[in-house]
C-alpha cells in the first residue's frame, strides 16, 4: 500500500511519461505503472535478432511537439534526431520513381517531370495547408471545450471561431474539406497525375483502415503536420538509436525530477470508492493509491476491462463499446545481409532514397484496390508498404555492412486467426517488395512480424489501432474519446485520460500528455 502519491499514471507510453513529467515539474508526487518490462509503449527500440535492433512499432519521428522537447530537456538527455535527406521515395513499376523533397522547390521540379499543371498547383496547395495549419495546430494544444472546461471553454470556443473567421471564405471552404472530404476527392481536385496524387495522399492513408473515397479521410494530411523537426513543419526524421531513444530521454527527465517508475506492474483494476477513483490493483494483488488517476492506456481497456461496469452509466459504456479502432496494419522488422537494391535506382552505395520513407503505393487506384481486397478477401494481395532502412543513417542498429528495415504494411484486418496466418501474410508483403527491390527476399536474415493481434496483445492497442482510436471525424476534438469527456476528464471523479485516445489523437507527439497535465493541475 502506498498512500503518499498525488497522481498515478497508468501506462508508460510516451504520453504517460510526458504527463508525469509536467505534473512532477509542478511539484506533484507522481508514480507511473507500466505493464511491460520497458517504458515507451508504442515508442520503443528492441533487439529482434542477435545484433539487430530497431524501433519495434512506431518507426519515424515528425509529430513530436517542440515545446515538450524543450521543457523535458530531451536533447540534453541525449536525444538526437536526424532529418531525412529526402522526404519520400515512390519506386514505380516501369523503372521510374517519384521523389518528395524537404525543399518544396525541389519537389516542384520533380512534379514538373510528371505534370506541368501539378507542378504549378503545388505551391498553392502547400500555402493552403500552411494557412489552415496556422489555425488548426493551436487548437491541438488546447483542451476541446467540454465537461470541466467551464467558462474558459466557452471563451476558448469564441477565440477559435474568431481565428477561423479571420481566414478568407475560400480558406474556410478548404478547412472544411480537409476535415470532411475524402482524400481521393481532395487530391483529385488539386492534382491530375496519378503518381503525384498517390504521393500527396499517402500521409492520409497511414494507419487508417478506410476507403480513400470515404468522407473524413483527408484529415490525415493535417494530422501529419502537427510537429516540426529542425524548425520545419511536416519534416520527418530518425532518432539515433531508434524511437526508443525518445522515451528513454523522457524517462531520464522523469527520474531526474523524482517521478517513481514501476515496470512489470500489470494493472488489473481501477478502484472506485464513493464515485471517486482512488487507486489501482496490480496483478500481484498489491494496491497503489493516489489523489488522481491518469490513464495513458486506451479508453476501451480502461472502461471495459479495468473498471467495474456498475460504476459507469450504461449509455457511457455503450459509447465506449462502439468506438472505432482498427488500422489493419502489419508491422515487420527485417534483418538484412545487404543494402536493398531498387530496380528503378540500383546502387551499391547508400543514397538519399535509401534514407527516406520509401513507399510502394504508386496510384490511388492501387491503394484503393489494396483496401477493397482487405475488406472482401483475406488481406491486400498487393499491399501499400512504407519501408524505412534506418541503419543507413544509424550504425548502432545493425552489424557493419548489414541493415535493418522497418515495414509498415496495409491492409491486414484484425478479424482472423493471426496465430495461423502470420507468416503467410508476411510472405505477401515480401512478394510485393521483390517486384521493386531485386535482392530483398534473398538478403533476409530474420523477420519479426507484428500482426494487429500482436499489437493488441503486446502493446495494448485495441484491435491493433496505432492511434488507440481511429482518426475519423466522429472521434476527433470534442468527440475524443467520447463527447462530454474530451477535456481529459473521465466520467468518474479524479479519473483522467492522457493517451492517444484523447485529443488531439495518436502519433508520437506528446500533446495529449501535455494538455492532460494542464487540466489535472487546474483540478488538484
Ligand atoms: C505499428 C505502429 C507504427 C507507428 N508508426 C508511427 C510513426 O512512425 N510515427 C509516429 O509518430 N507514430 C506512429 N505510430 C503511432 C504512435 O506510436 C502511437 O499513437 C503512440 O505511441 C501512442 O502513445 P501513447 O503514449 O498514447 O500510448 P501507448 O504507447 O500505447 O502507451 C500505453 C502504455 O500503457 C501500457 N499498458 C497497457 N495496459 C496496461 C496495464 N494493464 N497495466 C499497466 N500498463 C499498461 C502499455 O504497455 C503502454 O506502455 C505507430 C504505432 C504503431 C502501433
pLDDT at 442 over 80: yes
pLDDT range class, residue 145, cuts 50, 70, 90: confident
pLDDT score recorded for residue 47: 98
One-character DSSP codes across 400-416:
TT-EEEEEEEE---SSS
Mean pLDDT is lowest, of 49-58, 158-167, 394-403, for 158-167
Is any ligand 1 atom within 6 A of the Cβ of residue 63? yes
Contact indicator for 490, 497 with CB cutoff of 8 Å: yes
Is any ligand 1 atom within 6 A of the Cβ of residue 383? no
Determine the distance separating the centroid of ligand 1 and the alpha carbon of 150, expressed in angstroms. 31
> Of 46, 305, 90, 110, which Cα lies nearest the Cα of 203?
90
Is any ligand 1 atom within 6 A of the Cβ of residue 467? yes
pLDDT score recorded for residue 156: 82
Q: Which of 385, 411, 466 to mutate to test the pocket of ligand 1 (most atoms within 8 A of CB)?
A: 466
Contact indicator for 33, 452 with CB cutoff of 8 Å: no
Is any ligand 1 atom within 6 A of the Cβ of residue 60? yes
Nearest CA to ligand 1 atom 50: 58
Which atom of ligand 1 lies closest to the CA of 18? Answer: 25
Determine the distance separating the centroid of ligand 1 and the alpha carbon of 19, expressed in angstroms. 14
Determine the distance separating the centroid of ligand 1 and the alpha carbon of 461, expressed in angstroms. 7
186-212 tens-digit pLDDT:
999 999 999 999 999 999 999 999 999
Total Cβ atoms within 10 A of residue 246 = 30
pLDDT at 215 over 60: yes
Mean pLDDT is lowest, of 21-30, 39-48, 141-150, 479-488, for 141-150
User: Across-strand partners of 336?
Assistant: 403, 444
Is any ligand 1 atom within 6 A of the Cβ of residue 245? no
If residue 455 lies in a helix (H) or strand (E), which one and from where to where? helix 452-459
From CA 26, how far away is CA 165, in angstroms rounded? 36
pLDDT score recorded for residue 458: 98
Residue 89 three-state SS: strand
Is any ligand 1 atom within 6 A of the Cβ of residue 481? no
From CA 244, how far away is CA 37, in angstroms rounded? 13
Determine the distance separating the centroid of ligand 1 and the alpha carbon of 98, expressed in angstroms. 31
Is any ligand 1 atom within 6 A of the Cβ of residue 35? yes
Is any ligand 1 atom within 6 A of the Cβ of residue 500? yes
pLDDT at 369 over 50: yes
Q: Which of 301, 388, 460 to mutate to test the pocket of ligand 1 (most atoms within 8 A of CB)?
A: 460
Nearest CA to ligand 1 atom 31: 13
Determine the distance separating the centroid of ligand 1 and the alpha carbon of 36, expressed in angstroms. 12
Q: Which of 37, 303, 508 to mutate to test the pocket of ligand 1 (most atoms within 8 A of CB)?
A: 508
In CATH, which superfamily holds the domain spanning 5-48+56-81+241-324+470-523? FAD/NAD(P)-binding domain (3.50.50.60)
Determine the distance separating the centroid of ligand 1 and the alpha carbon of 43, expressed in angstroms. 6
Q: How many CA atoms lie within 13 A of 163 on its CB side?
A: 16
Contact indicator for 57, 459 with CB cutoff of 8 Å: yes
pLDDT score recorded for residue 1: 44
Q: How far is CA 389 from CA 52, 56, 201, 300, 392, in A?
A: 12, 13, 22, 34, 6
Residue 524 three-state SS: coil
pLDDT score recorded for residue 4: 78
pLDDT range class, residue 149, cuts 50, 70, 90: confident
ipTM reported for the complex, 2 dp = 1.00
Contact indicator for 482, 319 with CB cutoff of 8 Å: yes
Nearest CA to ligand 1 atom 39: 35
Is any ligand 1 atom within 6 A of the Cβ of residue 460? yes
Name the DSSP class of 502.
Answer: S
pLDDT at 257 over 70: yes
Is any ligand 1 atom within 6 A of the Cβ of residue 371? no
Mean pLDDT of 20-38: 98
Which atom of ligand 1 lies closest to the CA of 267? Answer: 42
Determine the distance separating the centroid of ligand 1 and the alpha carbon of 107, expressed in angstroms. 32
Mean pLDDT of 502-516: 98
Is any ligand 1 atom within 6 A of the Cβ of residue 242? no
Q: Which of 87, 267, 269, 297 to mutate to test the pocket of ligand 1 (most atoms within 8 A of CB)?
A: 297
SS3 letters across 29-81: CEEEECCCCCCECCCCEEEEECCEEEECCCCCECCCCHHHHHHCCCCCCCCCE
From CA 455, how far away is CA 408, in angstroms rounded? 13
pLDDT score recorded for residue 94: 85
pLDDT range class, residue 227, cuts 50, 70, 90: confident
Nearest CA to ligand 1 atom 49: 41
Is any ligand 1 atom within 6 A of the Cβ of residue 43? yes
pLDDT at 428 over 80: yes
Nearest CA to ligand 1 atom 12: 507
Amino acid at each position: 500500500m502506498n498512500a503518499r502519491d498525488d497522481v498515478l499514471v497508468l501506462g508508460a507510453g510516451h504520453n504517460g511519461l510526458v504527463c508525469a513529467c509536467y505534473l512532477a515539474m509542478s511539484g506533484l508526487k507522481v508514480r507511473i505503472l507500466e505493464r511491460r518490462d520497458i517504458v515507451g509503449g508504442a515508442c520503443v527500440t528492441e533487439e529482434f535478432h542477435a545484433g539487430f535492433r530497431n524501433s519495434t512499432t512506431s518507426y519515424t519521428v515528425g509529430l513530436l511537439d517542440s515545446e515538450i522537447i524543450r521543457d523535458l530537456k530531451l536533447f540534453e538527455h541525449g536525444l538526437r534526431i536526424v532529418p531525412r535527406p529526402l522526404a519520400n521515395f515512390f519506386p514505380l513499376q516501369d523503372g521510374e520513381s517519384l521523389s518528395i523533397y524537404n525543399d518544396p522547390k525541389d519537389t516542384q521540379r520533380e512534379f514538373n517531370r510528371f505534370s506541368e499543371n501539378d507542378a504549378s498547383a503545388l505551391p498553392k496547395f502547400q500555402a493552403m495547408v500552411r494557412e489552415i495549419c496556422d489555425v488548426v495546430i493551436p487548437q491541438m494544444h488546447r483542451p476541446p471545450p467540454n465537461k470541466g472546461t467551464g467558462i474558459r471553454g466557452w471563451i476558448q470556443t469564441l477565440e477559435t471561431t474568431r481565428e477561423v473567421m479571420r481566414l478568407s471564405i475560400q480558406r474556410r471552404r478548404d478547412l472544411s474539406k480537409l476535415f470532411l472530404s475524402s482524400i481521393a476527392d481532395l487530391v483529385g481536385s488539386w492534382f491530375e497525375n496519378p503518381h503525384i496524387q498517390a504521393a500527396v495522399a499517402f500521409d492520409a492513408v497511414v494507419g487508417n483502415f478506410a476507403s480513400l473515397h470515404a468522407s473524413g479521410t483527408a484529415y490525415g494530411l493535417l494530422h501529419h503536420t502537427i510537429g516540426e523537426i529542425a524548425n520545419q513543419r511536416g519534416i520527418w526524421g530518425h532518432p539515433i538509436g531508434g524511437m526508443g531513444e525518445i522515451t528513454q530521454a523522457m524517462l531520464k527527465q522523469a527520474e531526474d525530477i523524482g517521478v517513481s517508475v514501476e515496470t512489470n506492474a500489470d494493472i488489473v483494476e481501477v478502484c472506485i470508492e464513493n464515485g471517486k477513483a482512488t487507486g489501482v490493483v496490480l496483478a500481484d494483488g498489491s494496491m497503489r493509491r493516489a489523489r488522481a488517476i491518469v490513464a495513458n492506456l486506451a479508453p476501451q481497456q480502461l472502461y471495459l476491462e479495468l473498471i467495474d461496469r456498475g460504476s459507469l452509466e450504461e449509455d457511457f459504456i455503450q459509447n465506449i463499446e462502439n468506438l472505432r479502432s482498427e488500422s489493419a496494419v502489419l508491422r515487420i522488422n527485417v534483418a538484412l545481409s545487404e543494402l536493398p537494391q531498387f530496380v528503378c535506382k540500383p546502387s551499391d552505395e547508400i543514397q538519399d532514397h535509401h534514407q527516406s520513407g520509401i513507399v510502394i503505393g504508386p496510384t490511388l487506384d492501387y491503394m484503393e484496390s489494396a483496401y477493397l481486397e482487405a475488406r472482401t478477401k483475406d488481406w491486400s494481395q498487393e499491399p501499400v508498404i512504407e519501408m524505412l532502412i534506418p541503419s543507413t543513417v544509424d550504425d548502432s542498429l545493425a552489424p557493419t555492412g548489414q541493415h535493418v528495415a522497418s515495414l509498415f504494411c496495409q491492409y491486414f484486418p484484425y478479424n482472423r486467426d493471426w496465430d495461423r496466418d502470420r507468416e503467410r501474410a508476411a510472405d505477401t508483403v515480401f512478394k510485393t517488395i521483390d517486384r521493386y527491390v531485386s535482392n530483398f527476399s534473398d538478403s533476409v536474415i530474420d523477420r519479426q512480424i507484428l500482426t494487429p493481434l500482436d499489437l493488441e496483445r503486446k502493446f495494448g492497442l485495441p484491435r491493433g489501432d496505432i492511434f488507440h482510436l481511429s482518426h475519423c471525424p466522429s472521434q476527433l476534438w470534442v468527440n475524443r474519446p467520447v463527447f462530454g469527456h474530451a477535456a481529459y476528464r473521465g466520467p468518474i471523479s479524479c479519473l483522467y485520460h492522457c493517451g492517444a485516445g484523447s485529443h488531439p489523437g495518436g502519433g508520437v507527439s506528446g500533446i495529449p500528455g501535455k494538455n492532460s497535465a494542464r487540466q489535472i493541475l487546474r483540478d488538484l
